[in-house]
Amino acid sequence: MDAEAFRHFLRINGRSESAASRAMDYAGQFEEYLTENEVELDEAMPPDLESFVAAIESEPGATAKLYLWGIRYYYEFIDDPVMVQVAGEMRRERVERTPFRLRRFRGVNLQVVERLASVGIRNVDELLAVTRMAAERRELAAKAIVPIESLDELVRLSDLARIGGIKSIRARLYLDAGVGSVADLAGWDPVELVVMLRKHVADNDFDGIAPLPGEARHAVETAKRLRAIVQW
């Protein structure tokens, strides 16, 4: 990180000296995390940010919203619009406490998502509240006029999204690789999980990267603590 240039950017954009120092500290902690995992700050991808946030929020009650505030400024500074958008969206979710929207999962059928929205189901919380049993899923599929297979896919993605850091890209990777629920994830050894996911990415030309070892360990440990709420 070019600390002086970043500080100058923050100053000319109206940040006070104390705010600039905080933003630099948050971005610096992200840089330290990336360095430990052999990733450059200016080359980080959304999954790297998701992994960092998952690590920050692994403690009960912890939130990464201030980290995301500072990190977003850094990617504005280096003109990385993708990371600016991702950091901003992740921060808004934490500030507004808005549940993850179904349409933001990668690779889902948007017509199915729209049909579910027409019956009042727009986010993961709303979906999981009414699809925990097979009979409930069949009833909702009939009501929304959507294929049960498409609904089951969204339920599995939503179940995985209960774990911090597993959202749009990550949830799709886990599901495509055969990890279809929190209960499935809890049964994995983190080291073996990383090996399997790296192979899946390589063999299937997946548009994304496998989780780092620390992220996988956090995901498995979190899955073990969560109660299974969906019956398959």
Predicted confidence band at 45 (pLDDT cuts at 50, 70, 90)? confident
Structure token pair of residue 8: 């100058």
Structure token pair of residue 22: 């905080």
Domain boundary among 79, 96, 113: 96
Mean pLDDT across 66-85: 92
pLDDT for position 85:
86
3-class DSSP state for residue 122?
coil
Q: Who contacts 162 (Cβ-Cβ below 8 Å, separation ≥6)?
A: 124, 128, 182, 226
Structure token pair of residue 108: 């889902």
CA 203 to chain centre: 23
Better-scored residue on pLDDT, 98 or 226: 226
User: Which residues constitute the domain of residue 215?
Assistant: 102-225
Assess if residue 232 is contained within a domain.
no
Please report, for residues 39, 49, 91, the alpha-carbon distance to residue 56 in angstroms, rounded to integers and kept in the order given: 18, 11, 13
Q: Are 113 and 190 in a shared domain?
A: yes
Mean pLDDT across 54-68: 81
Q: Is the pLDDT of residue 80 over 70?
A: yes
Contact status, residue 53 vs residue 33, Cβ threshold 8 Å: no
Mean pLDDT across 132-157: 97
Q: pLDDT tens-digit profile of 81-139?
A: 888 988 988 888 787 667 889 999 999 999 999 999 999 999 999 999 999 999 999 99
Q: Are 91 and 175 in a shared domain?
A: no
3-class DSSP state for residue 123?
strand
Q: How many CB atoms sit inside 10 A of residue 145's CB?
A: 10
pLDDT for position 94:
81
Assess if residue 230 is contained within a domain.
no
Q: Residue 5 burial (CB < 10 Å; 0-12/13-18/19+)?
A: exposed
pLDDT for position 165:
73
Q: Is the pLDDT of residue 208 over 90?
A: no
Q: Is the pLDDT of residue 164 over 80?
A: no
CA distance 27 to 19: 12
